[in-house]
Amino acid sequence: MTESRVPDGREKTSISVLFVCMGNICRSPLAEGIFRDGLARAQLAELVTVDSAGTGNWHQGEAPDVRSVETAARHGIDISGQRARQLVSEDFDLFDMIFAMDRSNESTMRARAPSARHDRIFLFLDHTLGSRADVPDPYYGGVDGFEDVYQLLREGCTELVSRLGRELRQPSG
């Protein structure tokens, strides 16, 4: 266990994961909630630090978009307590895996991150499902878009939980 701390002051655990979209009110809070739920079901929650952020600061301090909250709730996940925050330079040191929801955010993060930290930045669907596609931004669409994004994130998060579970359960040395 590392002695460093994530932005909310908790100690860093075995693996730390950050989900990033543009404003941190639609995709990344959903991904965080889905991933946390998957970790809890797999009994891995104690081993993984999870957070989300946005490349922009327009919604800093706000709750997730009500459509994200309602979509998550329909699937038994409560993300209403999350608050948007902007990606900060310390995140590149604190998080082992930083997942961009789309190529635009991936590019923004690579431009902001020290080159030594580029190996921590991944396009979410590329890393989890092997698809160099973006998680579409449902913000300007209807409720169906949020459900579609939820399903896509759930599929990717399920694969990520499975992969991390195998890594965390392997005996060391």
**Within 10 Å of residue 29's Cβ, how many Cβ atoms?**
27
41 given a catalytic annotation: no
Residue 137 designated active-site: yes
Q: Please indicate whether residue 67 is annotated as part of the active site.
A: no
DSSP 138: -
Edge to edge, what strands does the sheet with 48-54 contain?
A: 48-54, 15-21, 97-100, 121-123
Determine the Cα angle at 168 with ends 116 and 109, to 5°.
30
- DSSP string across 5-39: B-TTSPBP-SEEEEEEESSSSSHHHHHHHHHHHHH
The catalytically annotated residue of 65, 91, 137, 154 is 137
Q: Which of 26, 27, 51, 134 is catalytic?
A: 27
Distance of CA 133 to the CA centre of its chain: 16
Distance CA 173, CA 171 (A): 7
Which one is catalytic: 21, 51, 85, 157?
A: 21
> Which residues are known to be catalytic?
21, 27, 137
